[in-house]
Amino acid sequence: MKLSDKKSNIIRTEFNWKNFGFSYNNLDEFYRSQWQRKETSFWYLLYRWLWALFFLSVFFCCLVQQFTNGKFFIFFTNWGFLLCVATQLLGVLLVTRWHFDIGAVRSSFYEVSQLRKTPRLLRLYWLLYDLAMPVALVITTIYWAFLHGKMNKPNRFPVLSFSTHCLNSVFMLVDFLIIGFPVRLLHTLYAMLVPIVFFCFTLVYYLCGGTDDVGNHYVYPMLDWTQPSRCVITFIGIFILYCIYPTLLYGIYRVKRFFLHKSVESDRSVHRVGLI
């Protein structure tokens, strides 16, 4: 009964209106892996650099090979991958600053925490992560379920396509299992702004006579605005995915917190400095 009450309390707390925001007590979790016990970790620093270099190198390769007079930027895949790049670059910046105490970020951590306000860079990192994670999963799902082999154009760069439609989600999921900061279900509403903006863009782009990189009058076949009902169905389907994936990610987050609570959290509490 107590366990059931505890779960119920967690769910109620999760939907508190304050969780629309980006305030959090244990700010060190943004700089450290959930799995590390010490204040700094060379292996986590190395990991962050490897992940950032992967996303950055793939993005530049795609940009060079697929720029096509700027048409590169009309595709949702590239929007999502760019979000992943920004997230990973900011992540490696934060961890590098923490590891080497650049700008006395560790030395002044207690004073910053006493202000009871999450620094802007941490808020931005949290927001970017909340945007990039579900976008990566949605892109992978939509592409392999509905678009792979069905688009009216050749797949000229299969390795890059595999990286941006599959490895993007694999790398982000691995990262999700390693990071230490929390998941908030209400942040899903921010993530939903991405497909809303993209759908509006595809409509405006169509009305302005825009074409894709091979001359089709749509960005994606399923977003052909000569068939508006099909576009609306696509929009609804993506929103359903945006309900499913954040819920699954939140469940994974709660599970990893549960298993680490006794084995890691007690050890880290000796080093942690957070808001009270």
Q: What mean pLDDT is reported for the chain?
A: 88
pLDDT given at position 268: 45
Q: Is the pLDDT of residue 73 over 80?
A: yes
Mean pLDDT of 246-259: 89
Report residue 269's pLDDT band, with 50, 70 and 90 as the boundaries: very low
pLDDT given at position 6: 56
pLDDT given at position 75: 96
pLDDT-above-90 percentage for the chain:
66
- Tell me the H-state helices in the chain: 2-14, 42-66, 76-100, 109-114, 120-142, 158-162, 168-178, 188-191, 193-207, 228-260, 266-268
Nearest CA to 214 among 24, 71, 83, 64?
A: 71
Q: Is the pLDDT of residue 86 over 90?
A: yes
pLDDT given at position 114: 60
pTM here?
A: 0.89
3-state helix vs strand vs coil in the chain, percent to 5: 75, 0, 25
Domain ranges for the chain: 23-246
Q: For residue 95, what are the CA distances in angstroms to 71, 87, 240? A: 34, 12, 34
Mean pLDDT of 103-120: 75
Selected residue with higher pLDDT from 119 and 52? 52
Q: How far apart are CA 85 and CA 104, in angstroms?
A: 26
Mean pLDDT of 31-58: 95
pLDDT single digits (tens) 186-237: 999 999 999 999 999 999 999 999 999 889 999 999 999 999 999 999 999 9
- Number of CB atoms found within 10 A of residue 97's CB: 16
Q: Tell me, what amino acid is at 77?
A: T
pLDDT given at position 176: 97
What secondary structure letter does DSSP report for 210? -
